[in-house]
Structure 1
Amino acid sequence: MTAIEAVTFDYWNTLVYELRGHLRGRRLEAWSGLLEEAGFAHERLQLEAVYDAAWDAYVTSWRANQQFRSAEAAEHCVEQLGFEVPPDVRAALVEAFGRAGEEAELHLAEGTEDCLRTLKGAGIKLGIICDVGFTSSTMLRDHLIRHGVLPLFDHWSFSDEVGAYKPAAAIFEHALDGLGGPVPERVAHVGDLRRTDVAGALAMGMVAVRYTGINDDDSQAEPEAQHVVAHHSEVPGVLGVISS
């Protein structure tokens, strides 16, 4: 087995997860309160439809590797409300949409910290390669700080800062450069999605590890990773890393 020099991790449903619908609910509650305060009658189902349409627009852009950030999603929602809101209300809605992730309850996947410390203790460099949705990279890193693990990473590549989503080579190249330029064959990428994490890593010549502990991606049969793990405790072993 080729010696591994660096390991990159996907963020959502690999390092961190939310309880289903948590962030969506926070944004809808914030908007409902702001609209009610401003005197705009609305139905919860209407807001849900507006939000879901914005998410569909994001997914389309994500698949096309075209950036669709939080502010754009919020503006998309405002345009779909079906009524005009004054500039101050519009600004408040956009701000609330973006800030919903600040105090959200995001959970570290079981075994993550021990895995990271084992790899770090073996001299492995660590990185993050993350496709950002409606919560900015700054907020996502803040959550890792709160969980006490951000200092374990040597570099990170978030799509809203790099300007590319996985599986595009650009975001993987950004990660490799930031980790000191190791040859791809000596770098592993751990993530849950076949289309982005597995396909992107394999195309770069990296070792792909598909993590199924939170989301066992059955959206497509291929590609498959060289290794499939259900718990982070398995990662060092499948990569041949022995803790010091």
Structure 2
Amino acid sequence: MTASDLRALHLGRTPGDPLVLPGPWDAASARVLADAGFPALATPSAGVAASLGYEDGATPAAEMFAAVARIARAVSVPVSADIEAGYGLAPRELVERLLTAGAVGCNLEDTVDGVLVDAGWQADRLAGVRAAAGDELFVNARVDTYVTGVPEGVDQEAETVRRALLYVAAGADGVYPIMAPPEALPRLSAAVPVPLNALARPDGPGPRRLGELGAARVTFGPGLQRRAMAALGGFADGLRTA
């Protein structure tokens, strides 16, 4: 599968029918999700980290790319990889490692070590990734304004839009304002001319409602991995008393 296949899945979505991309954390979970009929998958860095025994954000680059490669080899649908802030790799090397792993898309966030980076710097980095990748990657630019916050006196939603538009101008195929409140999605989607990714959370609206609010793409972060581990924990507790 190619980036063109993944790109096409984002287009022409009607309200209430977003592209739903569940997040596998290993090859076995990827096969389960692909067999369930999902047309593409999006790895969550936190879920992969947990499966490898690391805290979120602490996975070595080599182990993350190896995990993505195992997932991509296990399925015949497009796989997008969450590569956090890019592990300090230069754009060309980052793209080469993604493509070698078999990913046809990526999330690239604008937070490094918990700090929101300068938007112009991030736009330049995205432009470098776009130039190195050509059309071979669907680049989903994550905007972390709702995760890290913004400086006092700065309007959070306006800053989100400003960053998103800079990233789109740099070549991003999609924008992911992670943790954006549902009520902001209609305004954000209206302001940004590319598919908007929304995060589905256990305590929030489901994918269909997020689509009605303006999301063209819905992902789950490490939510599925955590639910699977909770289910396993419940099963394990039952085994002790069986």
Q: TM-score, normalised by structure 1?
A: 0.30
Higher relative contact order (CA 8 A, sep 6+): 1
Q: TM-score, normalised by structure 2?
A: 0.31
**Rg bigger for which structure?**
1
